[in-house]
Amino acid sequence: MIEARELTRYFDVSKPWLQRTLAGEPRRILRAVDGITFDIPKGTTLSLVGESGCGKSTVARLVVGLYPPTAGQVRFEGKDLAAARAQPEMRRRMQMIFQDPYASLNPRWRVHDIVAEPIRAFNLVPDPAQQRERVAELLRQVGLSPLDGGKYPHEFSGGQRQRISIARALSSNPEFLVCDEPTSALDVSVQAQILNLMKQLQRDLGLTFLFISHNLAVVRQVSDRIGVMYLGRIVELAESESLFTRPRHPYTRALMEAIPDLEMTGRSRTPVGGEVPSPISPPSGCAFHPRCPLANDRCRAEAPAMLDGVACHAVQEGRD
Amino acid sequence: MLLEVKDLRVEFPTRRGVLTALNGVSFSIAPGEVLGVVGESGAGKSMTGAAIIGLLEPPGRIAGGEIRLEGRRIDNLPLAEMRKIRGKRIGAIFQDPLTTLNPLYTVGRQLVETMQAHLPLSDAEARQRAIGWLEQVGIPAAAQRIDAYPHQFSGGMRQRVVIALALCAEPQLVVADEPTTALDVSIQAQIIALLKRLAREQRTAIMLVTHDMGVIAETADRVAVMYAGRIIEIGPVRDVVRHAQHPYTAGLMASIPPLDRKVERLAQIDGSMPRLNAIPPGCPFSPRCPHVFERCRVARPELMPAGATDAACWLHDQPGASA
């Protein structure tokens, strides 16, 4: 349903022209997303995981068309997204849920109007009485009461607000939802409620998800396939279960090692040394080589291509 | 015991009456011990930390109970006295490193000033120690980076500077409020290793406030679970994680997504924590509790022995019963 091909997005973070020219500095380009390729079949969930600054949220925004790509393409049912977004009907079919349920709802609007906004924008239910009925149904669907429609967002807790965001996203009957860290701002018991709700809705409505998260345990619960991102590239892309049972890329393994786990009571884990380098001046060759225990001269010189779900010289040469 | 908190009560006077944010909170921490404090947002865990370091946001105030550091009461000290204790005896680490550091001073100057405020050190000695602390918290090339400004450090580095700042006057107690929440897992692991080392080698007592049970499981010796302004269960970390005695703790543990397997449906606790102005009579968890019975709705349970932990739950007041 969704195909991303060599998707690339650079941001120009140079100083203003005059300052730059006087100081004799070159342009500075931040490579947020650097040539990534994936497919999301209908009715399935692809998750992208990675540490902050790896470009996963930029991918989410590229896929719904909030940013135009610098190069590459996103295709929605075979049609180029840039062209498809010109038609309201195509925009209706994809919606996004954001991380922060405090910032993404208009505090001056009643919940009813927030949820009805996409219905009005796409003129899906012109009759006001039927529109009320539709909003009430959506609120019930996400576990709120139809009476909540008359309240303002500040009267709700974080988890309830995220339910309102989901109701709003569902109101245009989308087929594809992009969820950018939908539970990161929530407490763990509330997170369980929202994850269960999202899985339920996927079963009931046949939704396709692109799920962005930094939390591997959450990702395992919701995904069919997972892409691990590092510095703007996907370093490993695999079926969810095989990624967890047989992680192949050294970065994926390091990430899993680093997660604190309830079972590990009292044991210490192995920290990944170093930090994520700056995407403005990424390391030569494979971007992970300064932190990689398997790095050799080839890794320092030559960026590995994605082969059979993993972009790593060591794995491809059998050195792992 | 290094720190003893007894029956702590914190109130917020508002236009619509007084809100009780903390109610009857009691616990203690021994030297070299890491006490984890967990709970959902609004449960009162950060407020407990703020009350101990004497930095409650007005109009919040301590309305009852006492806080003792090495047997001496510190909850009723004049501001100037408390300021001497803060930094020297109690170090504080907050979640957001940018608000703790002064952007106009180099990190070295901030470290030197803090140390000289509390310890009799010459400029040269203080600078030498500052470099030592930066190395301790894992900042590479500390001798060069000491003259850098906070904005020249990455997020993870800045949090390490904040930790160095909290530790440099060698406090006996460190109150760490979500010290790793803003950090990526790889950096988080480094910070946790550092805190554990301090507790082990320097006998520093650590109160670690976080909502991340994974971090607690790995770092803490004992854990206190808070709900609606009270401690509802406290005990050794292993027992609280694996054999929770309070139904809320059990629900909280079950709702954590497991990393080692996929489950069809996560256990969830329906509903949400009550607001401070609407705490139900009896047990505050009773409206959401799967094991609720008549007594829970009318009488408020205090902490009582339950298995290997202490839990505030009437299920444990009957002979032979367990949650």
Instruction: Among A159, A220, A240, select the one facing B257 at the smallest CB separation.
Output: A220
**Could you tell me if A166 and A52 lie in one domain?**
no
Q: For residue B36, what are its two tokens?
A: 């984890």
- Cβ neighbours, 10 Å, residue B149: 16
pLDDT at position A271 over 70: no
Q: Taking Cα atoms as reference points, which of B232, B208, B276, B223 lies closest to residue B60? A: B276
ipTM, 2 dp: 0.80
Taking one residue from A and the other from B, the number of pairs with CB-CB distance under 8 angstroms is 129
Question: What Rg do the C-alpha atoms of chain B give, in angstroms?
Answer: 21
Question: A52–B212: do the CB atoms touch at under 8 Å?
Answer: no
Residues of B in contact with A157 (CB under 8 A): 272
Interchain contact, B41 vs A244, CB within 8 Å: no
Return d(Cα B225, Cα B227) in angstroms, integer.
Answer: 7
pLDDT at residue A237 greater than cutoff 60: yes
Residue A239 has φ and ψ, to the nearest 5°, of -60, 145
Residues of B in contact with A187 (CB under 8 A): 40-41, 211
Whether the CB of A119 is below 8 Å from some CB of chain B: the reply is no
Which residues of chain A neighbour B187 with C-beta distances below 8 Å? 275
- Do residue B185 and residue A196 have CB atoms under 8 angstroms apart? no
Whether residue A89 sits in one domain with residue A130:
no
Q: Which domain holds residue A116?
A: 105-173
* Pairing relationship of beta strands B173-177 and B222-227 according to DSSP bridges: unpaired
**Per-residue pLDDT reduced to its tens digit, B289-299:** 999 999 999 99
Report the share of chain A in percent with pLDDT over 70. 96
Clarify whether residues A31 and A129 are in a common domain.
no
* pLDDT band at A229; cut points 50, 70, 90: very high
Confidence of residue B65 (pLDDT cuts 50, 70, 90): very high
* Of the candidate ranges A30-34, A199-203, A280-284, B8-12, the one whose mean pLDDT is the lowest: A280-284
Show me where the domains of chain B are located: 3-89+171-258+266-317
Q: Are B181 and B159 in contact (CB under 8 A)?
A: no
Mean pLDDT in chain A?
89
Going from the C-alpha of A108 to that of each of A64, A103, A151, B4, B239, the distances in angstroms are: 26, 12, 10, 46, 47
- Write the residue in B193, B218, B251 that is nearest to A264 by C-beta: B218
For residue B323, is pLDDT > 70?
A: no
A42 three-class SS: coil
Q: Are A201 and A302 in a shared domain?
A: yes
Q: Which CATH fold would you assign to the domain B3-89+171-258+266-317? A: Rossmann fold (3.40.50)
Q: Do A260 and B217 touch (CB under 8 A)?
A: yes
My answer on whether A194 and A282 are in the same domain is yes
Q: Which of A248, A231, A253, A254 is nearest to A310 (CA)?
A: A248
Phi, psi angle pair for A261, to nearest 5°: -135, 145
Please indicate, yes or no, whether residues A121 and A162 belong to a single structural domain of this protein.
yes
- Choice among A220-229, B192-201, B291-300 with the minimum mean pLDDT: B192-201
Residues near B111 by beta carbon (within 8 Å), at least 6 away in sequence: B126, B129, B130, B133, B134, B146, B164, B165, B168
Same domain, A81 and A37: yes
DSSP code of residue A275: -
From B196, B213, B266, residue closest to A192, measured CB to CB: B266
Which A positions 177-196 lie with beta carbon below 8 A of chain B?
Answer: 187-193, 195-196
* Angle ∠(B274,B275,B278) on CA atoms, nearest 5: 80
State yes or no: pLDDT of B72 exceeds 80. Answer: yes
Query: A166 and A184: one domain?
Result: no
Structural tokens at position A288: 């992970």
Task: Tell me: do A158 and A291 sit in the same domain.
Answer: no
Chain A residue with CA closest to B239: the answer is A265
Chain A residues touching B215 at Cβ < 8 A:
260
Query: B128-168, pLDDT tens digit by residue?
Result: 999 999 988 878 888 889 999 998 887 778 888 998 999 89
Q: Give the whole-angstrom CA distance, residue B107 versus residue B159.
A: 12
CATH number of the domain residue A190 falls in: 3.40.50.300
Same domain (yes/no): A59, A33: yes
Beta strand A45-49 with A225-230 is parallel
Task: With beta carbons under 8 A apart, name residues in chain B contacting A215.
Answer: 257
- SS3 call for B188: helix
Instruction: Looking at B209-255, list the stretches that DSSP marks H as alpha helix, in order from N- to C-terminal side.
Output: 213-219, 237-242, 247-254
Could you give the strand order of the β-sheet that contains B17-29, starting from the edge strand earlier in sequence? B17-29, B3-14, B61-69, B72-73
The nearest alpha carbon in chain B to A246 belongs to: B260
The closest alpha carbon to B299, from B282, B315, B280, belongs to: B282
Put simply, the answer to whether B252 touches A189 (Cβ < 8 Å) is: yes
According to the model, what pLDDT value does residue B305 have? 93
Q: Cβ(A162)–Cβ(A146) under 8 Å?
A: no
A257 & A240 share domain: yes
All residues of chain B having their beta carbon less than 8 Å from the beta carbon of residue A193 are 268, 270
- Facing residue for B193 by CB, picked from A256, A263, A268: A268
Residues 17-76 of A with CB under 8 A from B: 51-52
* Average of per-residue pLDDT across B182-188: 74
Average model confidence (pLDDT) across chain B: 89
A192 assigned to some structural domain? yes
Give chain A positions within 8 Å (CB) of B260: 244, 261, 263
Beta strands in chain A (DSSP E): 2-12, 29-40, 45-49, 71-76, 79-80, 94-97, 176-180, 208-213, 225-230, 233-239
What gap in Å lies between CA B273 and CA B227, rounded to an integer? 8
Partners of A258 on chain B (C-beta within 8 Å) are 185-186, 188-189
pLDDT at site B319? 60
Where a domain ends, among A155, A173, A191?
A173
Cβ partners under 8 Å of residue A111, min gap 6: A139, A144, A148, A149, A150, A151, A152, A153, A156, A164
Whether A98 is in a domain gets the answer no
Q: How many domains does chain A have?
A: 2
Question: How high is the pLDDT of residue A269?
Answer: 61
According to the model, what pLDDT value does residue A84 have?
83
How confident is the model at residue B141, as a pLDDT?
85
**Residue A100 counted as domain residue:** no
Q: Which residue among A190, A263, A271 places its CB closest to the CB of B272?
A: A190
Is the domain of A22 the same as that of A86? yes
Domain limit, last residue, from A134, A157, A173 = A173
